[in-house]
Structure 1
Amino acid sequence: MGTMLTLGSVQEATNTAAATRYLEESVLPGTGWTLLEARRRYSRLEPPETYWAMYRVKLGRGEPILPEADAELDEDAPEPQPVYPEQREVRLVARALFKPEAWQRFASRMHDLYGSASGDPLDGHGYPVLFPESQHAFWFYPVDPSMPTLAAAANPSRVLRLFRTLKRGLLDVPARITAVDVKLARYVPEVNGIFEYMIHTAPAAGSKRIFGKVQAGHGGRRTHQVMTALWEVARAAEGRLAIPRPLSFQPELSLYLEEAAPGAAVTGDRTAPHFLPGTLFAAGAAAAIHESEVPAEPHIRLEHELERLDGVQDQFAHVHPQAHFLLRELLIHIRAKLSHTAEEEWLPTHGDLKYDQLLHDEGRFTLIDFDYFSLAETSADLARYCAYLFPSMPRGWEQSVAAEEARKAFLDHYRELRPHATLQRFQLWEAVMLGNRAMTAMWAQQRGWERAVEGLLVMAMERLNSRLP
């Protein structure tokens, strides 16, 4: 059995240069397509086993048209790029495994799923290609080893046939479904794929926009059950909770369907007019969910979150020694307080409550994305929301002040709605969530990440040792 790979070697095997080399040497020759750009759009690390990266790849084909030079352009401006008669985008996924035994399990599963299939990666059949020496694989969306029905859910013809059989449950008025446009809204490799479906009808007045979600495992069925139960909670919540209306779960495609909620996602501008009202809505939504008694699995445990942070201490030591020291001290202090702090009440929990899970539409808000709906202590949802209120790299003092005001308003409103809520572990949960943000920033390593990580870990220690506002 081989040795365990380091994060550095895994990233080297799956970075932009490696993806570009794979495309230019193994995928594009003989196709007529030219690589225009490969840009990493996503990365995820799940210690101690797996790392993912995803690239949005732009391709061109045909005789390139060179734009005429503009004499008035600033000399520092980028040179005009050629335009191709045909251009398209594909998504390339890389997955690497650190442990040799984990790689062997993965490679065996890929062989069971796909055999020796090669397919055409540019025609929807980009099956995994394995690289045993570096313990990584490349594949192309919509192929996904953990979501075998993803490609069918992305196929307009297949979805059209399905929707025609479901039209009475989908459409608001009698009409004939004539076509379905499919747009990928989000793809998280081996987790979920979300599609925006525009249903065209005759007469056109019956046309409707809905969303569909394919999830790994049995997540779609579970999401439908949770959302159906929460829909009834929302109807009785007197405006405290609003969610997209669930439509159905289609087991043949593992596809959960829901109505499109109005509005746009709340952005990271803490000074925007809708940000504080959205925070008050989030507090009310959390209170309604916590009181709902909707059955929830699995459990989110504080101890598990601490173990995740334990698992990245060595990585911090290699790339940011000062942050490693801050994280180590933080974990020591959290565990010291945890040992003599009573457990809180366990309640149904959104599981990923953050400002960007809200849609706003002319003063009305909708809470979305219940993929991580779980049972957890009272403070888990609240601490996550508060931990993500603060910008890791604020554009100005106004953003930080607005975040502090939003945090106080959020906690005040929640406690007003649930005055007897058990919150004795809130500081511990918030410190852990800030630690998780630091961990994510370390993985992403965007410009300025070192300073952002230090700031998050310092804030985590401050929150741990402060009282609730």
Structure 2
Amino acid sequence: MSELVRNSVDSTRFTPSEGCDPDISALAATALDGTKLVNQISLLPTSQRPWGTPQEVRIKLLCFHPEPHCTFEIDLRTQSGWHRLIGKVYATDRRDVYQVMEGLRQAGFGPEGEFSIPLPLAYIPSLRLLLQERVDGMMAKEIFKLGDGRQCAAAAERCGRWLGRFQALAPPSGQISGVERFLRSAERKCRLLCEADTAWAAESERLLERLRAGALSLAATPTCAGHGDYCEHQIVFAKGRTVVFDWDLYDIAHPARDVAKFIVSLERLAMKHLGSIRALDGAAELFLRAYLASGGHPHVAPALPFYKAVLWLKGRTKAIQTGAAGWREQTEIMVGESFRNIASILPP
């Protein structure tokens, strides 16, 4: 049957860099071969390929990151029409991502729900390939970048309701990301700053002292299921659905972590595209309000400053290491925002 399948592949961007994992390069090349991919899909149980036997396949590479995964679009045509999928080939075996997504589907986050994830379709171990529903809609990041106040408010509320429901209902799974993990991350960033310029030494040490004190001040709070990277980049608004994708970093964490991640990411977006870190503060407040009204943990607010402080220190690592243009200005903003947030629970 496979020799009858018509296939079209747009692999113009599949150019693995020198030194990247040859294993994932070979697996990605196989997945981009329409005939070979169809052969592997044909081996799946019929319950995992309800569309039937493919007659034509179109594949388009979206991105190639040799360490975590490469992602591509797959269009399959069968007797029932075209079926649109997303495929992710991983550098290591990540069948656990499929299992977590399937658990979320069973917990009420399937495609029929208002609060959902992409429908997980299958995991093909031989290719380390995750197949999932492709969701068409408006990306949350585009609304926050280009939308008016009313549109941003509605988007923020939908994002808050999704996270509140997720933390209330999702089964916890994965490693526990405790406070110590975030303190270690902050210590690494401060060490990197000192290596780049010793003038940062005193400021970095003072910030670390305040972060450690802030961690000690946190009240014991039950952990819950975590997305790990909950932000406007991972959320799409489809017809009647708010859909959150990219579950590679799922974990168990303090409920304030994902809340803080979303707010910090909004602040970064506002700084980059809207001219002021504070430009989306109103949307962030609506997000938090909707989160709390939808099952979010009632004691998240006291922990938010700490998690926002440590999350502001995330990123910009390569710019600091290479001394890229603007790294000092970026660092001043990162450190300044970290100090500003921790000061709300530990005044200077």
TM superposition score category, shorter chain reference? 0.7 to 0.9
Q: Which residue of the partner structure matches residue 253 of structure 1?
A: 127
Please state if 1:336 is matched with 2:213.
yes
**Matches of 2:24 and 2:50, distance apart in 1:** 34
Q: Which residue of the partner structure matches residue 227 of structure 1?
A: 101
AA matched with 1:382: V
Shift of 1:435: 1.0
Q: Which of these residues, 451, 458, 469, is aligned with residue 336 of structure 2?
A: 458
Q: Which residue of the partner structure matches residue 36 of structure 2?
A: 158
Deviates more, 1:309-318 or 1:281-290: 309-318
Q: Which residue of the partner structure matches residue 129 of structure 1?
A: none
- Change over 3 Å in CA distance of 1:352–1:364 after alignment to 2: same
Q: Which residue of the partner structure matches residue 237 of structure 2?
A: 360
- Change over 3 Å in CA distance of 1:446–1:358 after alignment to 2: farther
* Residues 343 and 425 in structure 1, CA contact (< 8 A), matched pair in contact too: no
Q: Which residue of the partner structure matches residue 305 of structure 2?
A: 427
How does the TM-score come out when normalised to structure 1? 0.63
- Change over 3 Å in CA distance of 1:444–1:146 after alignment to 2: farther
Q: Which residue of the partner structure matches residue 162 of structure 2?
A: 285
Q: Which residue of the partner structure matches residue 19 of structure 2?
A: 139
Q: Deviations over 1:392-427 (max 9, x none)?
A: 744554x54432112211111112223653323221
Looking at secondary structure, tell me which structure has more strand per residue: 1
Whose Rg is larger? 1
- Change over 3 Å in CA distance of 1:395–1:164 after alignment to 2: closer
Q: Deviations over 1:33-86 (max 9, x none)?
A: xxxxxxxxxxxxxxxxxxxxxxxxxxxxxxxxxxxxxxxxxxxxxxxxxxxxxx
Q: Which of these residues, 337, 351, 358, is aligned with residue 228 of structure 2?
A: 351
Ranked by relative contact order (alpha carbons within 8 Å, sequence separation 6 or more), the top structure is 2
Q: Which residue of the partner structure matches residue 250 of structure 2?
A: 373
**Partner-residue secondary structure (3-state), 2:87:** strand
Deviates more, 1:177-186 or 1:267-276: 267-276
AA matched with 1:327: S
RMSD: 3.1
Shift of 1:233: 2.8
Q: Which runs of 5+ in 1 are unaligned?
A: 1-86, 94-137
**Matches of 1:381 and 1:233, distance apart in 2:** 19
Deviates more, 1:379-388 or 1:417-426: 417-426
Shift of 1:309: 2.4
- Change over 3 Å in CA distance of 1:403–1:349 after alignment to 2: same
Please state if 1:316 is matched with 2:193.
yes
Q: Which residue of the partner structure matches residue 124 of structure 1?
A: none
**Matches of 1:403 and 1:215, distance apart in 2:** 35
**Partner-residue secondary structure (3-state), 2:63:** strand
**Matches of 1:440 and 1:301, distance apart in 2:** 25
What is the percentage of aligned positions where both structures have the same residue? 21
How does the TM-score come out when normalised to structure 2? 0.82
**Matches of 2:64 and 2:13, distance apart in 1:** 14
Shift of 1:173: 5.4
Q: How does 1:141-220 map to 2 (within 5 A)?
A: 143-145=21-23, 149-166=27-44, 168-169=46-47, 176-201=53-78, 203=79, 206-219=81-94
Deviates more, 1:274-283 or 1:317-326: 317-326
Q: How does 1:5-154 map to 2 (within 5 A)?
A: 89-93=13-17, 138-139=18-19, 143-145=21-23, 149-154=27-32
- Change over 3 Å in CA distance of 1:441–1:362 after alignment to 2: farther
**Partner-residue secondary structure (3-state), 2:169:** coil
**Matches of 2:274 and 2:128, distance apart in 1:** 45
